[in-house]
Amino acid sequence: MREFPTDDGVRIFFTHHPAPQPRAAVQLAHGVGEHAGRYLPLIEHLVANGFTVYADDHRGHGRTGMTQWSDDATKLGRLGPGGLRAAVDDLHRFGRLIREENPDLPLVLLGHSWGSLMGQMLLNRYSDEYDAAVLSGTAYRMIGSMNSGDLNKRFAHLGTTGAEWLSRDPAVAQAFVDDPLTTLVPLQKLFGLVDAARLLGRPARSLARDLPLLIQIGSDDPLGGEVSARRLERAYRERSGLTDVTTIVYAGARHEVYNETNREEVFADLTAWLSARIPART
């Protein structure tokens, strides 16, 4: 576990997982109410396929949040002073740290859920600092295309944890509620209405770099699902001018495609897509 300081004194904790002969470095950005430690199987798969991974616990979250809030787990998920803007700035600073430590490697941004929404915001401003991007459990960030209500409503009859919307695997929901570093408090309550509204937006016109982009989404993802993902893909093509945009929709999968019952398929699709665009180094 390593850390880097922010301008306002928050210590952002992160882990570094080096691949023996890396073809690229991956910056992994997790979702709201969770932490990077939940992505260990995905990280291990990426490392085994030649990708060095850096994964932080965003401000207010995981080990960063526990330090920030003096070990008060009831405050996990709250961003604190600076709010969403500071969290996005943290991600940008983290990406630059990764680039400094790996100057000869391509840099891939991989964001899930809230991490993918912040990733979209980063790409609008700093697409030239990345060589590829992957967005999972994502949505087109416009009213009517992104669900701001009860994400578990359609799945509440399937269990009692309140986390059934995450995956078809009941063990994923149970592990989430048993994890001392996670919270199911809704995003709007954690962030407040102003910061929640700041998540809205569209891909910028004419991004600085025409980078390849992969969207991985479950057809039963309550955040947005396939319709929202297709709108996002179209916006990246037509507004942003990206020429290599791929959307993969997994039938029946819910929000966390990397924790789904077909996760091995999802992992394989991810590394196949990356490997086709980032050649192995000799």
Q: Would you state the structure tokens that stand for residue 193, as one six-digit string?
A: 């209405």
195 CB neighbour count, 10 Å cutoff: 18
- If you search the block for the tokens 């799945």, which residue do you land on? 155
Question: Helix, strand, or coil here: 231?
Answer: helix
Tell me the three state secondary structure of residue 190: helix
pTM of the complete model beyond 0.95: yes
Neighbours of 272 (CB within 10 A): 11
pLDDT in single tens digits along all 282 residues of the chain? 899 999 999 999 999 999 999 999 999 999 999 999 999 999 999 999 999 999 999 999 999 999 999 999 999 999 999 999 999 999 999 999 999 999 999 999 999 999 999 999 999 999 999 999 999 999 999 999 999 899 999 999 999 999 999 999 999 999 999 999 999 999 999 999 999 999 999 999 989 999 999 999 999 999 999 999 999 999 999 999 999 999 999 999 999 999 999 999 999 999 999 999 998 876
What is the rounded distance in angstroms from the CA atom of residue 241 to the CA atom of residue 71?
45
Return the biggest CA–CA distance within the chain: 53
For the chain, domains (ranges, CATH) are 2-277 (3.40.50.1820)
Contact 54, 16 (CB under 8 A): yes
**Is residue 107 a contact partner of residue 130, using CB atoms and an 8 Å limit?**
yes
